[in-house]
Amino acid sequence: MLMVSKERLEEKIAAFSHFGDNGRGGITRLSLSQPALEARRELIERCRKMGMDVKTDDLGNIYALRKGTEELPALIMGSHLDSVVDGGNYDGVLGVLTGLEVIETLHSSQTSTRHPAGVMVWTNEEGARFDPAMMCSGIVTGKFDKESMMNSADKNGIRFGDALAASGFVGSESNRLNPKDYAGYLELHIEQGPVLEIEGKEIGVVEGVVGMVNYEFTVLGVSDHAGTTPQKTRKDALYGASKLILRLWEELEQIDEALVFTMGRMNVLPNVHTVIPNEVKFTLDARHKDPEIIQKVVDVIEELPDHVASCEIRYDKLWGRDTVLFDEQFVKAIQGAANELNYSSRKIYSGAGHDAQYVAGYLPSGMIFVPSAQGHSHCSEEFTPIELVEKGTNVMLKTLLELDRQ
Amino acid sequence: MLMVSKERLEEKIAAFSHFGDNGRGGITRLSLSQPALEARRELIERCRKMGMDVKTDDLGNIYALRKGTEELPALIMGSHLDSVVDGGNYDGVLGVLTGLEVIETLHSSQTSTRHPAGVMVWTNEEGARFDPAMMCSGIVTGKFDKESMMNSADKNGIRFGDALAASGFVGSESNRLNPKDYAGYLELHIEQGPVLEIEGKEIGVVEGVVGMVNYEFTVLGVSDHAGTTPQKTRKDALYGASKLILRLWEELEQIDEALVFTMGRMNVLPNVHTVIPNEVKFTLDARHKDPEIIQKVVDVIEELPDHVASCEIRYDKLWGRDTVLFDEQFVKAIQGAANELNYSSRKIYSGAGHDAQYVAGYLPSGMIFVPSAQGHSHCSEEFTPIELVEKGTNVMLKTLLELDRQ
């Protein structure tokens, strides 16, 4: 049976870890930064060495294809090469490098496929430099408007459009991923959570990406001097926000075991140690695959009292997304590959967003998860043992060959 | 009986409200900024018009003296002309302008005093541009080291020493307030709290400045992806911090009714809406005149558990101060003046810090409070009705004349 090479995978991960190396085991490789451009050039060089045809589209997305034996649309594997600040060597890059390894395995064994097969790179998946995340898969699949995305600026005021133009990676819009020229999209990714590791599973067969809602709460108090305002007359917005957070935890915890929710961002005003806070804003992110559970979260929020600790509560829904399901044939092919290879696996939903979720409504798509050690992601400690990377890549190879037969 | 002029006080407050007018009823007059320098020049011009001798010391503190009839050390009244960002027209400036009105009352009625009598301005009381607060009274009275204070930089990197040198207000170190040349210091200030207003008192006879402790707490969790980490395995530092804040409130509230405590500053890391917070830092400021109560606060902190919601708790004592008592003779003179004038008054402790607290250990000193409408301070809404300003100024005049006789 055709199998990928663990040694080659190890070499690829090590080689790409130099681009943006933060010296602490991780990388900072923001979209279109110098290290990100170097990583792209290295990928293209490796693809061209195998005689692949490399193109970019008007968003700098890279498509590298190996010829097929028939006039069929292509099967393409991919993910992204950009990272968050102090990210790791697995999130995103692994989907590109394992795709490359699948092609290299076909190439070195002179195995032909009916469909052209290839590897691709999405520009600006993380959104860590240019908001929002999954920007360019969103544009290609019609979720975002290109012109407004071009104006997204980084913290130094550099527009995405200008950074893209300067990158040297702009190609033709006609090269974009599209349902006529492409038959399917596969993305291997780290789980970014602890479930596979805790359950001792080697492969996650991803059924979909869970739906979510995102709210911003504002608690409004009154700023007064910390030394002169009697405790009983205060309207302390941070005290109110602390009470509100605990109330939300208590109520949301009871809804469903699989519901995840996070208050990740909080800003306090005026944020001076001698002044009673008059305004606290914090976000709530809640995710579950079942829309009815998400509705229960919304119900909890809508039934909140107007005030907490004499402070007014306001909230805004920032955004939400419905659960996205991957193509049934693709899910079946991935599951079948894992079974045939005798790898332990489980069906799983992705809690995080991925380019594949946008592609899913556009082309038949599927995702393969490999375990994240201790569930870590978006940090230097991100890690997946090479044996599990190898197994995930074998699943992707086998899935690709199965889809190629269909 | 010699009385101050309400109309002149009104004119002074209106005139000085132009220096740094924020257009919303308040001022931004950061230390040594252009508006602050303009306010200083206006004050000096008014003092010189009355024939006062004006000097500055090496820290830009201004001393304006009217001659006495005997060779005695001076009695001086004062406060500061700088404000916080979007501060009001009363905090600090009122102590300077009421001092000026006392001198103007003596001058216009050709009333002589045995001691030289005058008005002074402390440089950088607020610490809003150059940390710390009460910087120059602290240097003069030996609390702070001059050289390190000169290196305190504002957010644009401008050193205090350089801003001072450029101000044109640097004089000789020998001009500093000192116990040989000065017999006493009086400071009129707004209460910055609601107690006088709530109790319907016109004058606060300040007995001292309450002691305080200031801590910084750190709650340490683990950052993981908001969408992929099951709720039960999380170590969410913001959830932990919210629990810790409520626990501290519950325990501290029970210690004493007059204890005030504030968590005013909180910073969350990484502060991204899709990432579980791994570190939350917040401050606790607690104040009470009785050292035993402050010790109870320290006991509550030292008896905290090591962990909250699976997150480690750490804390550092940032600083503290003991309760400062004003000179008994001065307190008695202020109380006597209020009684003679038939103004309602109460003894009170200051919760906020003032230049007078540093001067208290250096020269005989006293403070007079006038009410703050709704307790507001450090905001554009800061307000004291002119009738109460007038009464406070009459108390200062009468106190000065009484101290002059002694």
Does the beta carbon of B239 lie under 8 angstroms from any beta carbon of chain A? yes
Q: Give the per-residue pLDDT at A226.
A: 84
Contact (CB, 8 A) for B286 and B297: yes
Minimal C-alpha gap between A231 and chain B (Å): 6
Confidence category of residue B13, pLDDT binned at 50, 70, 90: very high
Q: What is the mean pLDDT of residues A308-322?
A: 95
Does the beta carbon of A227 lie under 8 angstroms from any beta carbon of chain B? yes
Nearest to A351 among B227, B238, B273 (CB): B227
Structure ipTM: 0.76
pLDDT tens by residue, B167-218 = 999 999 999 999 999 999 999 999 998 899 999 999 999 999 999 999 999 9
Q: Give the per-residue pLDDT at A319.
A: 85
Q: Give the per-residue pLDDT at B145.
A: 97
Tell me the three-class secondary structure of chain A, residue by residue.
CCCCCHHHHHHHHHHHCCCCECCCCCECCCCCCHHHHHHHHHHHHHHHHCCCEEEECCCCCEEEEECCCCCCCEEEEEEECCCCCCECCCCCHHHHHHHHHHHHHHHHCCCCCCCCEEEEEECCCCCCCCCCCCHHHHHHCCCCCHHHHHCCECCCCCEHHHHHHHHCCCCCHHHCCCCCCEEEEEEEEECCCCHHHHHCCCEEEEEEECEEEEEEEEEECCCCECCCCCHHHCCCHHHHHHHHHHHHHHHHHCCCCCCEEECCCEEEECCCCCECCCEEEEEEEEEECCHHHHHHHHHHHHCCCCEECCEEEEEEEEEEECCEECCHHHHHHHHHHHHHCCCCEEEEEECCCCHHHHHCCCCCEEEEEECCHHHCCCCCCCCCCHHHHHHHHHHHHHHHHHHHHC
Interface touch A193/B260, C-beta < 8 Å: no
Does the beta carbon of A171 lie under 8 angstroms from any beta carbon of chain B? no
Count of pairs with CB atoms under 8 A, one residue in A, one in B: 208
Confidence category of residue A207, pLDDT binned at 50, 70, 90: very high
Q: Which of B233, B273, B382 to mutate to test the interface with A (most CBs of A within 10 A)?
A: B273
Q: What is the mean pLDDT of residues B84-97?
A: 96
Report the range of poorest mean pLDDT among A333-342, B225-234, B306-315, B326-335.
Answer: B225-234
Interface touch B352/A227, C-beta < 8 Å: yes
Q: What is the C-alpha separation between A357 and B227, in angstroms, rounded?
A: 14
pTM for the model: 0.76
Does the beta carbon of A293 lie under 8 angstroms from any beta carbon of chain B? no
Does the beta carbon of A178 lie under 8 angstroms from any beta carbon of chain B? no
pLDDT tens by residue, B211-260 = 999 999 999 999 888 888 889 989 999 999 999 999 999 999 999 999 99
**Statement: residue A112 has pLDDT above 90:** yes
Average pLDDT, chain A: 96
**Statement: residue A149 has pLDDT above 90:** yes
Q: Give the per-residue pLDDT at A406.
A: 87
Average pLDDT, chain B: 96
**Statement: residue B377 has pLDDT above 90:** no
Q: Give the per-residue pLDDT at A170.
A: 98
Q: What is the C-alpha separation between A176 and B123, in angstroms, rounded?
A: 64
More confident residue, B252 or B375: B252
Q: Give the per-residue pLDDT at A274.
A: 84
Interface touch B226/A264, C-beta < 8 Å: yes
Q: What is the mean pLDDT of residues A103-118?
A: 98
Confidence category of residue A379, pLDDT binned at 50, 70, 90: confident
Residue B203 tokens read as 């004058």
Does the beta carbon of A186 lie under 8 angstroms from any beta carbon of chain B? no
Confidence category of residue A221, pLDDT binned at 50, 70, 90: very high
Q: Give the per-residue pLDDT at B225.
A: 83
pLDDT tens by residue, A157-176 = 999 999 999 999 999 999 99
Q: Give the per-residue pLDDT at A382.
A: 94
313-332 of A, contacting B, C-beta below 8 A? 318
Query: Looking at the DSSP assignment, which residues form a beta bridge with residue A279?
Result: A220, A269
Interface touch B262/A212, C-beta < 8 Å: no
Q: What is the C-alpha separation between B293 and B149, in angstroms, rounded?
A: 32
**Statement: residue A301 has pLDDT above 90:** yes
Minimal C-alpha gap between A108 and chain B (Å): 37
**Statement: residue A229 has pLDDT above 90:** no
pLDDT tens by residue, A2-58 = 999 999 999 999 999 999 999 999 999 999 999 999 999 999 999 999 999 999 999
Interface touch B261/A350, C-beta < 8 Å: no
Interface touch B233/A266, C-beta < 8 Å: no
A255 → chain B, closest CA residue: B231
**Statement: residue B92 has pLDDT above 90:** yes
Minimal C-alpha gap between A148 and chain B (Å): 22
